[in-house]
């Protein structure tokens, strides 16, 4: 049975996609069979993996709207053994409208993933930067949540809003959903503001802050254009080593029981 982890924060630009891609690759390096799910209509994860969203004939949209089997949409990540993806296209933007008309709409992704549960050790879900029905599907399908946090005030504020949504999901759809913790991204330890936000988030919300923080680096911006993650593009960089460390912690931590 796969461990299903949603990576969520409704604020955009906090490195959700980077985190999903890097952790997926790092877990594959550790021998895990990993499925990445791109729930963002911008399809940044799909693009970052080296796939052309405009050239795909099927995506998660078809799973939601046409009830296509997820196994028929799943694709291997180019050049990475043990890593596969349910890709996204811009059509996914229309899935939200369709899902709003369906009974049990928050459970559609969970049901689609059930037949794949024995094929993978870990499923990582890249949630879009919103608290709409796609993100609700991701949180309902998951057993656990990771929250990337850019160490600045607006991202910090978004954590509180996300936790309110997680409480709602627990009440109405997924009572055993657990928050694994916060991953500090784009961290600049030289700034007092960054240090203050990082120190405050754990105290304010009572969440574990996974270490080490992911330091800001131009290497992260360079990698997606090459269809690679930071661990492939700059494998010895501090960012790559930080994600490897967090992936090892995730692999060593018992998953929450649903």
Predicted confidence band of residue 258 (pLDDT cuts 50, 70, 90): low
Q: Is the pLDDT of residue 156 over 70?
A: no
Residue in the structure block whose two tokens are 């099927």: 58
- Supply the pLDDT for residue 154: 62
36 - beta bridge partners? 85, 124
Q: What is the mean pLDDT of residues 199-222?
A: 85
- Supply the pLDDT for residue 256: 66
- Supply the pLDDT for residue 253: 84
- Supply the pLDDT for residue 224: 86
Task: Give per-residue pLDDT as tens, 12-55.
Answer: 888 999 999 999 999 999 999 999 999 999 999 999 999 999 99
Which comes out higher in pLDDT, residue 156 or 59?
A: 59
Q: Which of 5-9, 100-104, 159-163, 232-236 has the highest mean pLDDT?
A: 5-9
**Torsion of the alpha carbons at 143, 40, 247 and 15, rounded to the nearest 10:** -130
Quick one: which of 71, 42, 72, 45 has its CA closest to 57?
72
Domains, the chain: 3-252 (3.40.50.300)
């Amino acid at each position: 049975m796969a461990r299903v982890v949603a990576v969520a924060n409704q604020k955009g630009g906090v490195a959700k996609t980077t985190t999903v891609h890097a952790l997926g690759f790092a877990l594959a390096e550790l021998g895990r069979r990993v499925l990445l799910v791109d729930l963002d209509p911008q399809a940044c994860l799909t693009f970052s993996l080296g796939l052309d969203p405009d050239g795909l004939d099927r995506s998660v949209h078809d799973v939601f709207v046409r009830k296509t089997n997820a196994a028929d949409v799943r694709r291997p990540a180019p050049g990475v053994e043990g890593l596969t993806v349910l890709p996204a296209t811009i059509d996914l933007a229309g899935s939200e409208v369709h899902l709003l008309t369906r009974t049990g709409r928050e459970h559609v992704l969970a049901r689609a993933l059930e037949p794949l549960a024995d094929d993978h050790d870990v499923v990582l879900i890249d949630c879009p930067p919103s608290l709409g029905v796609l993100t609700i599907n991701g949180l309902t399908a998951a057993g656990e949540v990771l929250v990337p946090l850019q160490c600045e005030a607006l991202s910090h504020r978004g954590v509180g809003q996300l936790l309110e949504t997680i409480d709602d999901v627990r009440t109405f759809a997924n009572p055993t959903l657990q928050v694994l913790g916060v991953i500090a991204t784009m961290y600049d330890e030289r700034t007092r503001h960054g240090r203050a936000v990082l120190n405050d988030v754990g105290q304010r919300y009572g969440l574990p802050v996974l270490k080490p923080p992911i330091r800001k680096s131009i290497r992260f911006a360079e990698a997606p254009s090459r269809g690679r993650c930071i661990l492939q593009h700059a494998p010895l960089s501090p960012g790559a080593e930080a994600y490897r460390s967090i992936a090892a912690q995730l692999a060593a931590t018992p998953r929450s029981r649903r």
